[in-house]
Structure 1
Amino acid sequence: MRMTGVLLVTALALLLAVGSPVNGCPPSDRAALLSFKAALNEPYLGIFNSWSGSDCCTNWYGVSCDPETKRVADIILRGESEDPIFEKAGRSGYMTGSISPSLCQLDRLTSLVLADWKDISGEIPPCLASLPHLRILDLIGNKLSGDIPADIGKLSRLTVLNLADNQISGSIPPSIVNLKSLMHLDLSNNKLCGEIPSDIGKLSMMSRALLSRNQLTGPIPCSLTNINRLADLDLSMNQITGSIPGQLGSMPVLSTLNLDSNRLSGEIPTSLLSNTGLNILNLSRNSLEGNVPDVFGPKTYFTLLDLSYNNLRGSIPKSLSCAKYIGHLDLSNNHLCGAIPVGSPFDHLEASSFANNDCLCGTPLRTC
């Protein structure tokens, strides 16, 4: 009996020893986080001061674990936050350093948010594309450089890819079209060049595609019009050429379309101005020609319609006065001519909306 009791105690001790990692994060996850921390410097708020002790699942700022496996699931560190630590300091976050490839050892990671720290530099570790469970990758507002990982398309569960406001260069990798679960894509305000992948329309779940303020060239891919969930498309401030695909006006939920400050030519598709769901349309600062289509009606609702700085000719469409609502309208810096229609929305617009055309007249400009 005594020997049996000793065996039971020994067995229990072994079980506790083997089972102890279940009560906290595995040492390998903790080591990966500490390597990640070592590559960064956050001098003002002290958010990494909490990263101590053996259990990285408890009270480590910005870290959370799967409740069953105790593996690290989320790293969410935002430099602009309403967290008390920011409010108490009275400042937004600032961090230098780089993103350590040690994060790639966290193979149960679902969210990586390292946003708005202003001065984190270096490249995005290519191995991040090998994290099989990653759903959110948000690195906005830093100074990251280099290319988007070529194998980014391997992240089959990714729903959010936000790399905006960095210094990322190179082209958009062709594999990006394999992100079948992607809903939010923001690559704006970087140094991306080359063409938008022609088959980007394969991203059938995408609702927002924000690619503005880069150096993208080539045409607007017609395959974009196959994304039935797309509500917000921003390709502004690039070097995109060619004509505007008329099919954009037939997209079922598109409400915001910004194509301003490119090198687009040809005529404005009639379908864009007759689409009653589109309420922000900015085509300014291109080389668009022809007349403004006279296709407005009682269901037309634009909070912003900007066609300025093009080569548009002819008269202002009289049907604009039939629109349900036109908020901001800018037709300036074209070659329009003739009388400005009377009534709404023209009775609340300023002269700047019509300035620098060939021969427009009527209120709020000179009398015809």
Structure 2
Amino acid sequence: MRVKHTSLLLLFLIILLHHHHNTLFAAAAKNHFLLDHGHRRSIFQEKSSLLSFKSSLPLQSQSLLSNWNVSTLVCDFVGVVCDRWRLHVVRLQLGGLLVPGGGCLSPSLANLTALRELNLSDNLLTGPIPAGLSNLTALNKLDLSDNLLTAPSPPSSPTSLHSTSSTSPITS
């Protein structure tokens, strides 16, 4: 009788552990999916922002960014560097890469919220600096030198471009 009771208790514990393990596994899988889905959504939004920036450039410059397309992973775009997990764009290095003259800074660049470095120097870009760039709190290196850019309109604050190494002439 005692052996039967012990066997039943052991069977009960095995069933309980199996159920508990499956519940934990399902919860972990759900959390991983939600986390992964959220990051995928972010990188797709960043890709969309970069494609929007590309479309604002003259055709000659667009052709230099030919691998910037819907079928290429954003982390494989020319001049784009992602974080080590390939979840966010952290560097955009297009200094001297575009056809000089024509083209402007697209406000869509302000959607690259994890961006730490932005180099668009030596491209003779024109027009206003998008005020939204001042919201890029991770940005610690900005090079807009040798462009023909004007101040943001309207200015968001006296320190609207908090981290800059730009020597671009800013006119009003």
TM-score (norm 2): 0.67
Other-structure match for 2:171: 169
Structure 2 gap segments, 5+ residues each: 1-18
CA–CA separation in structure 1 for the residues paired with 2:33 and 2:41: 13
SS of the residue corresponding to residue 31 of structure 1 reads helix
1:18/1:75 CA distance change after superposition, 3 Å: same
The question of 1:141 aligning with 2:146 is answered yes
1:247-262 alignment to 2 at 5 Å? none
The question of 1:126 aligning with 2:126 is answered no
AA aligned opposite 1:56 = V
Other-structure match for 2:85: 68
AA aligned opposite 1:32 = S
The question of 1:51 aligning with 2:68 is answered yes
The question of 1:40 aligning with 2:63 is answered no
Identical columns (%): 27
Structure 1 gap segments, 5+ residues each: 81-91, 171-368
Give the count of matched residue pairs.
147
The question of 1:115 aligning with 2:121 is answered yes
2:110 touches 2:135 (CA, 8 Å); kept in 1? yes
1:100 touches 1:125 (CA, 8 Å); kept in 2? yes
1:55/1:69 CA distance change after superposition, 3 Å: closer
TM-score (norm 1): 0.34
Other-structure match for 2:110: 104
1:133 touches 1:155 (CA, 8 Å); kept in 2? no
1:123/1:94 CA distance change after superposition, 3 Å: same
1:45/1:31 CA distance change after superposition, 3 Å: closer
CA–CA separation in structure 1 for the residues paired with 2:105 and 2:160: 20
Q: Pick the structure with more helix per residue.
A: 2
Q: Pick the structure with more strand per residue.
A: 1
CA–CA separation in structure 2 for the residues paired with 1:155 and 1:169: 15
1:24 touches 1:55 (CA, 8 Å); kept in 2? no
1:110/1:15 CA distance change after superposition, 3 Å: closer
CA root-mean-square deviation: 3.4
- State the structure with bigger RCO (CA 8 A, min sep 6), 1 or 2: 2
